[in-house]
Structure 1
Amino acid sequence: MLNLSVLLEDSARRYPDRDALVLGNTRIGYGELDARANRVANLLIARGIAPGDTVAMSIPNVPEFVIVYYGILKAGAVVVPLNIMLKGHEIAYHLQDSGARVFFCSEGGPDLPIGEYGRAGFAAAPKCRDMFVVGGLDGADSLDTALGEVSDVRSSVVRDPQDTAVILYTSGTTGKPKGACLSHSNMVTNALTANRLFDSSPMCTDTYLVTLPLFHSFGQTVTMNAGLSVGATLVLLPRFDALTALTLMIEEDVTVFAGVPTMYWALLDAVDETVDVQRIAATMRRAISGGAALPVEILTRFSERFGVRILEGYGLSETSPLALFSDPERDPRPGSIGVPVWGVEARLVDADWNTVTEVDTVGELALRGHNVMSGYLGRPDATAEAMRDGWLRTGDLARMDADGFYYIVDRAKDLIVRGGFNVYPREIEEVLITHEAVSLATVVGVPHEVYGEEVGAFVILEAGAQITEEELISWCRDRMAGYKYPRSIEIVTTLPTTATGKILKRELVATVRTSTVSTGTVSTSRGSSDVG
């Protein structure tokens, strides 16, 4: 018997007075955090929530996320964390698809009215019975009002290890989002595996800077669940800002930071003479990257600047998420996502599930182990397409070297086929970012009347750099095969990203879909949102 909430409860029993959560001037100890989660559990049970019922939540990186998350688990229910950027109709879809009985939603603010969108979504999901607003004015739907005199004492509902604990929705880039069902065993084992890799234990008294969105699998498992399981202090940063992050690293003596590549790029860009880099390097013992391929240039620059080696990992929502990770005991392999973590198998397959055995030959990465989901909620066909004999197709193209280290070549859906030749965007990006004038680059496939697709790039320049798009194209032509180099490059000041910091390539492609590209040149509009 097992409940994911044991990760919090064990630390609360052992370290009740140790700081669990920090946000600004607010500091919440483990004992208090556990008690607040108990109140949420008691509220849910009083409202008729039974073991196995689904409960959704749309809350940013504030203490209430952790409180509600573990309260849902303690009640024996299934947590459905939603992306806080979703609009009303999108929220309604997730509530309906997951069968959520209750919805916890942050009020938000003028820049992101989560509560407004949440109420619209709730109103359009008749099977969702109750909605509680976090951080809003006292009222009928206020969580504070609902908790009232609710007791803060209870024992967690016992669940079977294979019962679903969390449903994480995929981004839905190829259709409607699908809910990946992750068990208590999936989530507990993955958090403990992360600690095994990070050398984390209660004796380390680590301090994590938590800016990865907690509704996402990376932040949820690798920082929140893993950190709480060893009694770490989690310093919450609801919206990533590089300078604020650097300041918190100094003020809170942060020892562990996990981020996506765009965050590391932004941290490097924000360092100036006012930032005490040596102070950060003195306390930081682990830097972790995931969510997207980390350019080797950024890895190298960060190591040189902060004296900390970034350990790169790989995973999916469907794998809880951790699946492969840099081996801390072996020499670094720049550009590699590492080797399978404890208890996980990996192999490369072709379109028919045949294993690709040749060294350094590209195939689709497939995974099997304790971390793999039971399937997609209510979608047996999609589950059967993605899984076979316990193996999960990831949709990522990779290669394996002679020592068993894996390297992501690209997303299968991002592969550019130019005139019959395969072009991997990441390879082009790795070259572009080595140019002294280029700070960040992303490469996409542009529709082309003759070649099917043409190679296009969007770049952000280093501060003060002066170079034309034509000069960059010429520079690339001298360094790449004729079918690889980008025929169009647009210099931009921002790139559109997801809430987790991944670059939205599909939005960039959409800007050129209506352009005439038969000549190999395109005209596009600039990205619309800040990186990070």
Structure 2
Amino acid sequence: MLNLSVVLEDSARNAPDRTAIVFGDMRLPYSMIDAVAAQVANLLVARGIQKGDKVALACPNLPYFPFVYFGILKAGAVVVPLNVLLQSREIAYHLDDSDAKALFCFEGTPELPLGERGRAGFEAAEGCDHFFVLPATPLATESEYGESIWAALDGVSSEFATVQTAPDDTAVILYTSGTTGQPKGAELSHQNMLINAMVSDKMFPRGDAGDTYFGVLPLFHSFGQTVIMNTGFLRGATIVLMPRFDPGEALAAMVREGVTFFAGVPTMFWSMLTKIHADGAEVPSTLCTAVAGGASSPVEVLRDFEQTFGIGILEGYGLSETSPVASFNQPGRPTKPGTIGTPVWGVEMKLIDGDWKTIEGEGPGEIAVRGHNVMKGYYNRPEATEEVMRDGWFRTGDIATRDADGYYAIIDRAKDMIIRGGFNVYPRELEEVLMTHEAVSLAAVVGVPHESHGEEVKAYVIRTPGATVTEDELIAWCRENMAAYKYPRIVEFRESLPMTATGKILKRELR
């Protein structure tokens, strides 16, 4: 018997009165999160949801998320977390593709009409029978979109015996963002998710007076789910939830709540530093651990953060398919800025070529991963699974090098690589160089079609406030600082760059 819900249940047993979630003025103890999750489990069983059934959850970082997530797990069902930015047609696709029997959907706000989209998606999905609204007004029992969770839970018992699940039973289906074609659901077992949380917990030092985690990474995404929610609950930490990242509000909340642990994507660190330097925002003094993942952090940001906050950013690496953590700059070993560290406990990594042959030495090559963290496969996609898995190894599509100490450094996504006139150009390398220019605040480099070269190199740039550098001046500077075959021939200035809900720059929208 192994069920991922044990990360909540154990802490609720050991420290029922400890604050589990802080949301605005709300402080919710572990005992309450566990009790509401038990009610959700009872509700699902009463509505005919059986062990192994799929239940979808579309919700930003609100207390509803852990209530429903752990309720689904307790019932022995499988959680299918949905990106809250999906349109109704995409919601219907995910419900159909995952064979979801029920959908818990946040009612939404004027800026994020999730209830409307969710309801339309639910109506269009064939096999999905139950729709529960998570109302925007706390404890509201009515909603124009359907049955409110609070009405459904009225009078439902908060006692529930967690359904026994095997270590290899599926706990979560995480949909990959689908940069190539339709999104696919990575099936992750209770064992995948639980060991990943345990390994993450062991890696980070604990605070003397307990830990306070900052939960702004979307919980529907593997990074926020494992590293913040599951690991935080496992160690009995307090999690400060924030539904939308705003650098000023984030810094203020971290100061107010005495946050000790922050995990984010590089653009979050960049925007907090920009806020501190521009407006003199207060730097949180309680922060002990800062973790970055989701994309590579520019070395300039790493340097600036360490100078400003007095602690380094620990960079790690992983994918939805690896639960997600695969490698890390681990405490107790030297940190190498600009690398993704070494494989975590119980995980192996190697570099391979296009034919799965192992590449010795430095590489470059494509990262392959093997260990307790690798998914069972893509749900109902045997061909897609076969393409990426062999003898327990999973090929990631990320190109990296490896130094003599075994530290890996990502050069780029295999599919982001630009081939200009037969030469391989890695956007990440050019972005690093561009960010050393004092007028460049953020840069994204992509390949655009070109008649004779196949692809041409183009840079999108956000200038630092007050900077007056022109496109031609920046291109001339690039020519002096980069090889002739790779410097950007086109520069376009932007006020902002398109980003995913998790803060990754959307290259495909720039191409």
Aligned counterpart for 1:453 among listed residues 447, 452, 455: 455
Q: Hey, what does 1:312 align to over in structure 2?
A: 315
- SS of 2:28's equivalent in the other structure is strand
- Could you tell me how far apart the structure 2 residues matched to 1:275 and 1:445 are? 37
1: CA distance, partners of 2:281 / 2:486: 39
Is 1:143 matched with 2:143?
A: no
Q: Are positions 1:113 and 2:113 aligned together?
A: yes
**2:437 is aligned with 1:442:** no
Q: How far, CA to CA, are the matches of 1:453 and 1:496 in structure 2?
A: 21
Residues in 2 aligned to 1:331 and 1:167: alpha-carbon distance in whole angstroms: 35
- Give, in whole Å, the separation in 2 of the partners of 1:58 and 1:454: 39
Residues 415-468 of structure 1 show CA distances to partners (whole Å, capped at 9, x for unaligned) of 001001010000000000000111110100010000000110001111111100
For residues 42-84 of structure 1, give each alpha carbon's deviation from its aligned partner in whole angstroms, at most 9, with x where no partner exists: 0000001110000001010000001000000000000000000
Equivalent of 1:244 in 233, 246, 249:
249
One-letter code of the match for 1:112?
L
Q: Distance in 1 between matches of 2:357 and 2:59?
A: 42
Distance 1:270 1:41 in 2: 43
Q: What is the correspondence of 1:307-386 to structure 2 with a 5 Å cutoff?
A: 307-359=310-362, 361-386=363-388
Q: Which amino acid aligns with 2:265?
A: V
User: In the alignment, does 2:222 pair up with 1:217?
Assistant: yes
- Taking structure 1 as the reference length, what is the TM-score of the superposition? 0.94
Structure 1 residue 205 displacement after superposition: 1.0
Residue identity matched to 2:125: A
Aligned residue number for residue 9 of structure 1 = 9
Out of 296, 301, 306, the position equivalent to 1:303 is 306
Cα root mean square deviation, aligned:
1.0
Determine the structure 2 residue equivalent to 1:290.
293
1:115 partner amino acid: G
Single out whichever of 139-148 and 171-180 deviates more from structure 2.
139-148
For 2:63, the equivalent position in structure 1 comes to 63
- Secondary structure, aligned partner of 1:446: strand
Relative to structure 2, which stretch is displaced further, 285-294 or 139-148?
139-148
Structure 2 residue 197 is matched with structure 1 residue 191: yes
> Partners in 1 of 2:224 and 2:465 — Cα distance?
30
1:470 aligns with 472
What displacement does 1:87 show? 0.7
Of residues 154, 160, 163, the one that matches 1:157 is 163
1:26 is matched with 26
Q: Counterparts of 1:204 and 1:483 in 2: how far apart (Å)?
A: 54
AA aligned opposite 1:89: R
TM-superposed deviation, 1:334: 1.4
The equivalent residue for 1:518 is: none
Identity %: 61
Cα distance in 2 between the residues matched to 1:308 and 1:464: 29
Q: Give, in whole Å, the separation in 2 of the partners of 1:269 and 1:470.
A: 25
2:183 counterpart of 1:177: yes
1:96 matched to which residue of 2? 96
1:31 and 1:186 mapped to 2: Cα distance?
A: 26
| Amino acid paired to 2:418 | I
One-letter code of the match for 2:293?
A: G
Partners of 2:431 and 2:75 in 1: CA distance: 47
* Residue 420 (structure 1) aligned with residue 425 (structure 2): no
Q: Helix, strand or coil for the counterpart of 2:432? A: helix
Alpha-carbon distance between aligned partners in 1 of 2:422 and 2:102, rounded to the nearest angstrom: 51
Q: TM-score, length-normalised on structure 2?
A: 0.97
Match of residue 210, structure 2, among 196, 199, 205 = 205
Q: Distance in 1 between matches of 2:365 and 2:172?
A: 30
SS in 2 for 1:442: strand
- Structure 1 residue 126, shift from structure 2 partner: 2.2
**Secondary structure of 2:351's aligned partner:** strand
The equivalent of 2:498 in structure 1 is 496
1:166 aligned residue:
172
After superposition, the C-alpha distances for 1:357-394 in whole angstroms (9 at most, x for unaligned) are 022x2100000000000000000000000000000000
When residues 273 and 115 of structure 1 are mapped into structure 2, their CA distance, relative to the original with a 3 A threshold, is closer
| Alpha-carbon distance between aligned partners in 1 of 2:44 and 2:189, rounded to the nearest angstrom | 20
**Cα pair distance change 1:77/1:502, threshold 3 Å:** same
User: Could you list the runs of 5+ residues in structure 2 that have no partner in the other structure?
Assistant: none
Cα 1:204–1:394, aligned 2, differ >3 Å: closer, same or farther?
Answer: farther
Counterpart CA distance in 1 for 2:361 and 2:292 is: 28
Deviation at 1:204, TM superposition (A): 5.1
d(CA) in 1 for partners of 2:206 and 2:500? 29
SS for the counterpart of 1:141 is strand
The alpha-carbon deviation at position 273 of structure 1 amounts to 5.4
Following the alignment from structure 1 to structure 2, what is the Cα–Cα distance between the partners of residues 37 and 274?
42
Q: 2-side partners of 1:291 and 1:273: how far apart?
A: 27
Aligned partner letter, 2:195: T
Residue type of the partner of 2:235?
Answer: V
Q: Aligned AA for 1:233?
A: T
CA shift digits 1:299-355 (9 cap, x unpaired): 000000111110000000000000000022222211100000000000000000001
Amino acid corresponding to residue 118 of structure 2 in structure 1: G
Which whole-Å CA distance do the structure 2 matches of 1:499 and 1:468 have between them?
31
5+ residue gaps in structure 1?
A: 510-532
The number of residue pairs the alignment matches comes to 504
> In the alignment, what sits opposite 2:125?
125
Deviations 1:463-482 (A, max 9, x none): 11110010000001001110
